């Protein structure tokens, strides 16, 4: 029984109630915009609220409403798996193993103080630094893709007064943490962006009966909504464009084949090429990074010096390919036409700007968010998924 009115802490409902001369219940009603409150009292309460500088305590509210009014945005992927060694889930079938270094520098994180100097190094082999430590987080943000996802999610959430909690889940430990986080009720649901197929997270979440929506269809079916792109159609657009402009010796730099999008873009491309009389298309597997695109292009050029068209499964690799082509004296699109995929910022960072297949990432992310919020509002609504159609954006490179 603290009979003392002015305590140290932040003002509570009680304080406002006292100031307005009403009960806590009434203040609560006004604050939550419940009807059935006399306009006069309503006004009095409002005044009391601003006088006291009251702000509702979220923990208390959540405790009773059982809602956090927050959602998690989690990037899930293979990444470094300390315990599982390397989860190199068979680098697909057809392609060549690339032998890309997957290991990274220290990572800024862990230990004691970061000291005062910068974090890790890694990435470039010869060049040492390079604007990104090797952590999973850094790898994720190295691709403009993720920034676009965040943009779409945030722009959808903000007008609704919500903000995403950013989480990463590349190890089984981290995945457990995500599940725990949700189970603790810190977030009402999760938006998960998987960078690899076979990602166990969607399954874990579904098993725990937690709400989630995925970006990209999960490898093994899970009763969870998702948004995805018609990757094959996108690859078809690229193939047709290259063919239409007269290219006849076309090659492709695929994405990692253990990533559904990588796989789909390749098969979509191959299928279309085959249908147009090109059953064999030279392909080198990349890792969706600029550097892997460069290496792949070097290789393609070495094995097929006469090629006149290249489809890279994303813009970053296309950008790398362009660099290599130019270094080898090939003009773009004169000698070799190049088509990318995504229409990310890399497309405009390239000279000439890339002709590319647009993936409306922001819109897809917004839709994903809408689906999650829908589901939170109607927990037993149907599990619906949305597939977006890509479109060709013609610029200078092809």
Partner DNA sequence: CTGAAAGCGCTAACAG
Partner DNA sequence: CTGTTAGCGCTTTCAG
State the residues that interact with DNA by CB under 7 A.
1-2, 9-10, 12-14, 21-26, 28-29, 31-32, 35-38, 40-42, 54, 56-57, 60-61, 63-65
Both tokens assigned to 300: 């393609």
Reduce the DSSP state of residue 319 to 3 states and report it. helix
The single residue among 144, 245, 249, 299 that binds its own copies, judged by CB under 8 A, is 144
- Closest to its own copies by CB, 92 vs 120, is 120
With CB under 5 to 8 Å by kind, the binding choice for 274 among its own copies, DNA, none is none
The partner in contact with residue 207, picked from DNA, its own copies, none with C-beta cut-offs of 5 to 8 angstroms by kind, is none
Member of 20, 29, 79, 181 binding its own copies (CB under 8 A): 181
DSSP labels for 30-90?
HHTT-S-S-HHHHHHHHHHHHHHT----HHHHHHHH-----EEEEEE-----STT-----T
Site for its own copies in 236-275 (CB under 8 A): none
Identified binder of its own copies from the candidate list 42, 91, 108, 267, rule CB under 8 A: 108
* Least Cβ distance, residue 23 to DNA (angstroms): 4
User: Measured from the CB of residue 276, what is the shortest distance to its own copies in angstroms?
Assistant: 27
Taking CB under 8 A as the binding criterion, the range among 21-29, 82-90, 131-139, 267-275 that sits at the site for its own copies is 131-139
CA 220 – CA 183 distance, rounded (Å): 23
Q: Is 5 in the site for its own copies (CB under 8 A)?
A: no
C-alpha span between 315 and 103 (Å, rounded): 24
Residue choice 39, 99, 111, 379 for contact with its own copies (CB under 8 A): 111
If one asks whether residue 142 binds its own copies (CB under 8 A), the answer comes out as yes
Q: Is 161 in the site for its own copies (CB under 8 A)?
A: yes
Nearer to its own copies, 171 or 270 (CB): 171
For its own copies, the binding residue among 46, 56, 219, 376 (CB under 8 A) is: 56
> CB–CB of 242/272 below 8 Å?
no
Non-local CB neighbours of 351 within 8 Å, separated by 6+ positions: 322
User: What does the angle CA 266 – CA 272 – CA 273 come to, to the nearest 5 degrees?
Assistant: 85
Q: For Cα atoms 237, 100, 348, give the angle at the middle one, nearest 5 degrees.
A: 40
26 binds, among DNA, its own copies, none (CB under 5 to 8 A by kind): DNA
Distance in angstroms (rounded) separating the CA atoms of residues 279 and 44: 78
> Considering the complex, what minimum distance in angstroms separates the CB of residue 68 from its own copies?
7
Is the CB of 54 or the CB of 123 nearer to DNA?
A: 54
Hey, is 13 helix, strand or coil? helix
- Taking the CA atoms of 128, 132, 138 and 144 in sequence, report the sign of the dihedral they define: negative
DSSP string across 247-278: --SEEEEE--TTSHHHHHHHHHHHHHHHHTT-
Nearest approach in angstroms of CB 104 to its own copies is: 11
Residue (of 339, 325, 320, 312) closest to 245 by Cα position:
339
- Candidate ranges 24-32, 80-88, 132-140, 280-288; the one touching its own copies (CB under 8 A): 132-140
Complex with its own copies: residue 168 or 269, whichever CB lies closer: 168
Nearest CB to its own copies, comparing residues 132 and 273: 132
């Amino acid at each position: 029984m603290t009979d003392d009115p002015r305590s140290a802490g932040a003002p509570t409902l009680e304080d406002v109630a006292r100031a307005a001369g009403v009960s806590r219940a009434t203040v609560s009603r006004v604050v939550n915009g419940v009807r059935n409150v006399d306009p006069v009292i309503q006004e009095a309460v409002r005044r009391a609220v601003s006088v006291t500088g009251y702000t509702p305590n979220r923990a208390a509210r959540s405790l009773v409403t059982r809602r956090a009014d927050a959602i998690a945005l989690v990037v899930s992927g293979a990444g470094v798996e300390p315990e599982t060694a390397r989860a190199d889930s068979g680098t697909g079938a057809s392609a060549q193993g690339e032998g890309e270094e997957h290991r990274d520098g220290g990572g800024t994180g862990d230990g004691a103080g970061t000291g005062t100097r910068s974090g890790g190094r890694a990435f470039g082999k010869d060049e040492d630094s390079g604007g990104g430590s090797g952590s999973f987080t850094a790898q994720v943000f190295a691709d403009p893709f993720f920034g676009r996802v965040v943009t779409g999610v945030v722009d959808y959430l903000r007008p609704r007064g919500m903000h995403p909690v950013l989480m990463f889940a590349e190890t089984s430990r981290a995945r457990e943490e995500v599940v725990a986080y949700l189970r603790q009720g810190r977030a009402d649901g999760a938006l998960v962006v998987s960078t690899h197929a076979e990602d166990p997270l969607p399954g874990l979440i579904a098993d725990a009966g937690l709400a989630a929506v995925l970006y990209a269809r999960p490898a093994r079916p899970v009763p969870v909504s998702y948004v995805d792109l018609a990757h094959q159609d996108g690859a078809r657009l690229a193939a047709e464009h290259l063919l239409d402009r007269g290219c006849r010796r076309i090659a492709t730099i695929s994405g990692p084949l253990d990533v559904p999008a990588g796989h789909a873009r390749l098969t979509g491309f191959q299928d279309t090429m085959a249908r147009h009389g090109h059953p064999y298309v030279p392909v080198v597997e990349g890792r969706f990074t600029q550097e892997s695109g460069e290496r792949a292009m070097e290789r393609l050029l070495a094995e097929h010096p006469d090629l006149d068209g290249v489809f890279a499964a994303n813009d970053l690799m296309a950008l790398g390919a362009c660099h290599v082509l130019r270094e080898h004296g090939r003009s773009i699109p004169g000698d070799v036409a190049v088509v990318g995929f995504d229409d990310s910022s890399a497309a405009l960072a390239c000279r000439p700007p890339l002709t590319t297949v647009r993936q409306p990432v922001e819109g897809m992310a917004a839709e994903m968010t809408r689906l999650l919020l829908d589901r939170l509002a109607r927990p037993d609504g149907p599990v619906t998924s949305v597939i977006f159609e890509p479109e060709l954006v013609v610029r200078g490179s092809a």
